[in-house]
Structure 1
């Protein structure tokens, strides 16, 4: 499964590594892990990252990253990214690369690379990278282990989501044998919230609307509320999971500002609902029980559109 990718990495003169826009802990963990793999193999690399995420600074400080490149791209590795369009600002680099590799675990992946490793049963892209490390015969050091553990914890919701498999726990068990503070990372990723996030959670709850007695809920945040809270983009990320944990909610749709005249739809669900397919209607995607999309226009327009599609889903 890994042989062609391994040979391609070995033959590369320089590796450019990136992931989907607005990268989460699994995406950044996978990028940093791949960077550490390159370092162990004495391969020059650059991680392309829109901007550092404060909560994950303990990973970024150990690697070589930049917001753009000047040199031509030899080998481009896209990680945790279901389709090439989700590379957004780095799509052109991917298109111009001499060789492309796509490593992912999303069920919606379009196999857009020249070489593809897509493990749809894996808990996270970091779990796939963990397997690649052993296929390469490398020894996992602390920076690599921290990056992989970050991805495992993030995409499983702290080993709570149903994507968590025995292989996930076995990988985590092996990683926490290394000399890093795994409980501190777990606490930072799962439990620690900024004051702005807590304020946003309260605002979102005040807008919580039940759309169906089966537990379909919607919440929104306006641009004014986002400004009032003093929140950053990073502060908003955990709100949807907080809402989804309210008793009785089976499907949670959360709409909030992403940019000027642009809104993010984040969704979480319990089985048997498929929010990845739901978000695909808006050009988004993700996991069956955790997905998202971007909707252009006003908050009122985005809310109305999502409500209409949810009603269609409930009636089908």
Structure 2
């Protein structure tokens, strides 16, 4: 599948919905917003469908048509940064009813679930793929597109530190930062600033951190009580696993935390160094992601989930 075919579908669409994986991050939101502006360029009616409003990336939503639910049917559904249909939690029914479906993603675990699929696991981010799409269509970049794509590139490369960063990534950034927005301020805000609640949760996660079967393999968690005592929101949890990965000697970290108020549902977030493929590991729990960053959702008590993940990790490393 090439970008020309995808652009033709968009040009011929009447109404378009754009969505991404559950709990959208900077890359997902940046890609969706940029795609929305692409649709607007073609004078197409579109809605960026968000699971929730993200305070961290709310600056991208100004001038973008977004909603948390839909009343009308749409003929074209564009899924971005989403590895499988199950990750479109709550919005898969809209996807199923759409006449045309498009899937653009960079996750190695992507199942190519749409009619039109563009998946490049070598790309730094889905935002970089949207940048390519915009260039393919000779669509003029404006400051809102530049800001959105820069956000996606910045977040999924960890500030251009991760191995997914390549020359094409930095060439895209070189063009984007020519537009009049304060890119250094965004860098500081997105990657360096943290809330007091996040700092408290990081301290708790370090306290709970323990080595698994091999040196460098660690398991950590936080509890509902930890979150309540820290007065933390869901967004305050997002930076914890990356912080744990920065601890010297850590080759793999599995971090577990409660999903919402449901005491029987937990999120697993993993980070690793080569050669540990955490995307392949998370697939056994119907999760996925990247080779070095992936996640999944598990059911059970905290003790059951911790034991399940530890046993599965040990078995995975020995296989």
Moved over 4 A (4+): none
Q: CA deviation at 1:42?
A: 1.2
Query: Take 2:317 and 2:118, find their aligned partners in 1: how far apart are those partners?
Result: 35
Partner of 2:173: 172
Partner of 1:200: 201
SS at the partner of 1:62?
coil
Q: CA deviation at 1:243?
A: 0.3
Query: Take 1:34 and 1:5, find their aligned partners in 2: how far apart are those partners?
Result: 12
Flag structure 1 segments of 5+ consecutive residues without an equivalent: none
Q: CA deviation at 1:296?
A: 1.1
Partner of 1:285: 288
Q: CA deviation at 1:286?
A: 0.1
Mapped pair 1:24 → 2:48 = no
Q: CA deviation at 1:315?
A: 2.2
- Shifted more, 35-44 versus 193-202: the winner is 35-44
Matches within 5 A, 1:220-259: 220-259=221-260
Partner of 2:271: 268
Query: Take 1:119 and 1:203, find their aligned partners in 2: how far apart are those partners?
Result: 37
Give the TM-score normalised by structure 1: 0.99
RMSD: 0.8
Q: Kindly provide the CA deviation profile for residues 130-169 of structure 1, in whole angstroms up to 9, marking residues without a partner as x.
A: 0000111111000101000000001001101111111001
Q: Kindly provide the CA deviation profile for residues 12-71 of structure 1, in whole angstroms up to 9, marking residues without a partner as x.
A: 011100000001100000110101111122111001101111010110123111011111
Q: Kindly provide the CA deviation profile for residues 266-316 of structure 1, in whole angstroms up to 9, marking residues without a partner as x.
A: 000001100001111111000000000000111111101001011112322
Mapped pair 1:150 → 2:151 = yes
Q: CA deviation at 1:211?
A: 1.2
Mapped pair 1:307 → 2:318 = no
Give the TM-score normalised by structure 2: 0.98
Q: CA deviation at 1:214?
A: 2.9
Query: Take 1:229 and 1:5, find their aligned partners in 2: how far apart are those partners?
Result: 45
**8 Å contact from structure 1 (residues 52, 60) kept in 2:** no
Query: Take 2:286 and 2:116, find their aligned partners in 1: how far apart are those partners?
Result: 24
- Shifted more, 263-272 versus 206-215: the winner is 206-215
Query: Take 1:3 and 1:41, find their aligned partners in 2: how far apart are those partners?
Result: 14
Flag structure 2 segments of 5+ consecutive residues without an equivalent: none
